[in-house]
Amino acid sequence: MTAGRRARSLVAAAALVSLAACASERAGSSAAGSGEPQAALSDETRSQLEVALDGCTAETGYDPESQVVADLGPNELADGELAYRDCAYGALNSVVRPNLRLPALLDDLIVTDQQLTAAIPEGGATRSQREAAIDGRVAEIRQQEMAIRDAELAASDALISERDNLLRQQEMMDFRRQLDVVNQLF
Q: What would the pLDDT profile of 12-62 be if each residue is shown by its tens digit?
A: 555 444 433 333 333 333 333 333 333 323 688 888 988 999 999 999 999
86-90's contacts with Cβ under 8 Å and 24+ in sequence apart are 87/55, 87/56, 87/59, 87/60, 88/10, 88/11, 88/52, 88/53, 88/56, 89/113, 89/114, 90/52
Alpha-carbon distance 171 to 174, whole Å?
5
Residue 25: helix, strand or coil by DSSP?
Answer: coil
Tell me: pLDDT of 91 over 90: yes
Mean pLDDT (whole number) for 99-127: 95
Could you tell me how many residues make up the chain? 186
Burial (Cβ within 10 Å: 0-12, 13-18, ≥19) of residue 132: middle
Alpha-carbon distance 75 to 72, whole Å?
8
Question: Which band of pLDDT confidence, cut at 50, 70 and 90, is reported for residue 169?
Answer: confident
Domain spans, the chain = 3-149
Mean pLDDT (whole number) for 114-135: 95
